[in-house]
Structure 1
Amino acid sequence: MANKLISQMGLPLPIANVFAARSIITAKDALSIPESDLMALLDLGRDQVASAVARISEITCPPYQTVLSLMEDRRTSGCHGGRLPTLLKGLDEALGGGIPPGLLTELVGPSGIGKTQFCLKLSLIAALPTCYGGLNGRVIYIDTESKFSSRRIIEIGENSFPQIFQTEGMAQEMAGRIVVLRPASLSEFTQSLEKIKLSLIQREVNLLIIDSMAGLISGNPRENESCTRGSRQQPLGWTLSFLKSVAEFSRIPIVVTNQDLEGMTM
């Protein structure tokens, strides 16, 4: 966390430029300098420096939560909605209303069983206006196996929500709310997570989908040919821990698909 770039902290651009001009690039650089020295170095007022340091600290070290507060958050979200409905009656009843926020939800099954189709529909539901049962928000869809199909997602929308998608411009609006990333390796995937973390914590995104975790391990032969399974599991374990922490603090649903390769489920 200490090596997070200040340019990705969401500071006002003039302030961020001053930090960069003084070669204060990372959170560690800024937080290791006393505020009085930082004021002199940056030639900024106390309020400006204090505000910038508070922002950097918040992003670098998310605020702690007690077990009691976590339990209360979960109880509140369960009682007052906040879940992402799947619109499958039996499944929503079993899940207490839909995919829960603040947690990782894993979909496990063999290839071809329909995990990607399910995720495409979840993406649409999250992007739908709240009056139609959606979350009226943005979606980040991390597609590690190049299975995402824009044509298919429009077909699902037209078949599942004809009253919405027949409205002029609505299909384009829904599609514009879904951002697709296609990392080619586990390291590139980790970099993608680092870049979008701020958006997740600031709740600019209502759903994150990773389809699939298995693709990160088996999808790049050149990266994986010299790695043992154990050496690959270490960064994967860090990634899963990172995702769980982001889910907890951002309070959004995070859905991960998996193929249960050699007992690799979370």
Structure 2
Amino acid sequence: MANKDINQMGLPKWITNIFTARNITTAKEVLSLTEFQLMELLDVGLADVTSAVAHISEVVCPPCQTALLLMEHRVRNENLAGHLPTRLKGLDEALCGGLPFGVLTELVGPAGIGKTQFCLKLSLLASLPENYGGLDGSVIYIDVESKFSSKRLIEIGMKSFPEIFHMKGMAKEMAGRILVLRPSSLSEFTESLHEIKVSLLQHQVKLLIIDSMAALVLGESDYGGPRQHPLGWHVSFIKSLAEFSRIPVIVTNQVRSQIRDAVCKYSFQAQSCAETKDDTARYDSHLVAALGINWAHAVTIRLVLEATSGQRYIKVAKSPMSPPLAFPFCITSLGISLLNDDGVELTGLEISTITCQGQNDVLNIDGERLWG
């Protein structure tokens, strides 16, 4: 609109001719100058300049919309603003229907907390027929750490959806809808991204899962500043995949320790409860999301899975449609199950902390403590 021609503005012909004579032909060129500059350039009075600028501004300015109009527009275009229900009632209600289409949703937490279990359940939900509440599509599951288990997938399906999986051939059909890729390096993953974009259309893909993004870059460079650079392109490309295909994209992320004395650049910081083997001292460190602040800005929904005093929680730590809430959960043969649907609203540091109690240390090749 800013490049709209002055001749199309509906201004009085006399002032339009003056603009044209002074080689001012677009709204942008008019609005880039002050009223006094225009007075001097056009040789007209302040009242005429003010009137012309006000008229041009009104023409090129986007119309105001009420919240009600935006909501009605969203309802009319629900196919572009849909959700993948997680079947965790409290979480779905907090997220206004589930994991939204067209954006990145991140699962971050320590090893063994349940991130992959959650991803397996989501894979089944996306591949379920629509009349059973699914998306009736295929799933691309990028299994970086070889944690994907077909046996566990079928077990979750049999226990969660017995009316479907007990039908002859249905378990085989559902498992056949999930395409598992196992890139061995970041470069191999990079090469496959363009093929994935084509597959999203050719195979009616309704869900993309990357488990885990942090593992792709682990060992390629030290954590911190240098590691952000190779991820810049990947962040942009994955976001474009979500927006282009209008499907939910789920990415898991690890956590790492950070020396408390270091400058705290990242969110989701908490005092680590990890102890030394002789139980004589605690590490004076934080737990932080492994991919850092640049990655944190790229995700729209961030769900933190953590353990406190022997109880697991899933926290809505970042969401444009929900307050920060925490739900206790457990892992059963059904997958992840909430212990209750009434989330506890979080305040202060509770929102951004990651706690890890009872988890074993995992060391990377440089000896840095890392929880996957």
Query: Shorter-chain-normalised TM-score: which range?
Result: 0.5 to 0.7
Answer 1 or 2: higher relative contact order, Cα 8 Å, separation at least 6: 1
Instruction: Give the distance between the partners of 2:156 and 2:76, measured in 1 at CA.
Output: 28
Of 217, 232, 235 in structure 2, the residue corresponding to residue 237 of structure 1 is 232
Provide TM-score, normalisation by structure 2. 0.48
Which runs of 5 or more residues in structure 1 are unaligned? 1-65
Residue 174 of structure 1 and its aligned partner are, at CA, apart by: 0.2
Q: Bigger shift: 196-205 or 241-250?
A: 196-205
The one-letter code of the counterpart of 1:252 is I
Q: Is the 8 A contact 1:202 1:250 kept in 2?
A: no
The one-letter code of the counterpart of 1:249 is F
Instruction: Give the distance between the partners of 1:123 and 1:239, measured in 2 at CA.
Output: 22
Q: Is the 8 A contact 1:140 1:180 kept in 2?
A: yes
Instruction: Give the distance between the partners of 1:139 and 1:131, measured in 2 at CA.
Output: 18
Identity rate, percent: 65
Counterparts in 2 of 1:159 and 1:199: CA distance versus 1, 3 Å: same
Q: Is the 8 A contact 1:128 1:137 kept in 2?
A: yes
CA RMSD of aligned residues (A): 2.5
Q: Is the 8 A contact 2:138 2:203 kept in 1?
A: no
Show the counterpart of 1:95: 95
Show the counterpart of 1:58: none
Aligned 1:22-171 pairs, distance under 5 A: 75-76=74-75, 79=78, 82-171=82-171
Q: What SS does the corresponding residue of 2:142 show, helix, strand or coil?
A: strand
Which runs of 5 or more residues in structure 2 are unaligned? 1-61, 65-69, 257-287, 297-372
Instruction: Give the distance between the partners of 2:160 and 2:170, measured in 1 at CA.
Output: 14
Residue 246 of structure 1 and its aligned partner are, at CA, apart by: 1.1
Residue 95 of structure 1 and its aligned partner are, at CA, apart by: 0.9
Q: What SS does the corresponding residue of 1:206 show, helix, strand or coil?
A: strand
Q: What SS does the corresponding residue of 1:134 show, helix, strand or coil?
A: coil
Residue 75 of structure 1 and its aligned partner are, at CA, apart by: 2.7
Q: Bigger shift: 190-199 or 133-142?
A: 190-199
Q: Is the 8 A contact 1:85 1:97 kept in 2?
A: yes
Q: What SS does the corresponding residue of 1:107 show, helix, strand or coil?
A: strand
Computing the radius of gyration from Cα coordinates, the structure with the larger value is: 2
Does the alignment pair 1:254 with 2:253?
Answer: no
Aligned residues: 192
Instruction: Give the distance between the partners of 2:82 and 2:206, measured in 1 at CA.
Output: 10
Q: Is the 8 A contact 1:140 1:178 kept in 2?
A: yes
Counterparts in 2 of 1:147 and 1:136: CA distance versus 1, 3 Å: same
Instruction: Give the distance between the partners of 1:74 and 1:195, measured in 2 at CA.
Output: 33
Residue 72 of structure 1 and its aligned partner are, at CA, apart by: 8.8
Q: Is the 8 A contact 1:83 1:98 kept in 2?
A: yes
Q: What SS does the corresponding residue of 2:99 show, helix, strand or coil?
A: coil
Q: Is the 8 A contact 2:106 2:253 kept in 1?
A: yes
Provide TM-score, normalisation by structure 1. 0.66
Instruction: Give the distance between the partners of 1:150 and 1:124, measured in 2 at CA.
Output: 11
Query: What CA deviation, in whole Å up to 9, does each residue of 1:115-166 have, x standing for no partner?
Result: 0000000000000000000000000000011100000000000010011100
The one-letter code of the counterpart of 1:254 is V
Q: Is the 8 A contact 1:83 1:97 kept in 2?
A: yes
Does the alignment pair 1:204 with 2:204?
Answer: yes
Q: Is the 8 A contact 2:135 2:206 kept in 1?
A: yes
Does the alignment pair 1:187 with 2:184?
Answer: no
Instruction: Give the distance between the partners of 1:95 and 1:190, measured in 2 at CA.
Output: 31
Please identify which structure carries the higher strand content.
2
Instruction: Give the distance between the partners of 1:150 and 1:96, measured in 2 at CA.
Output: 31
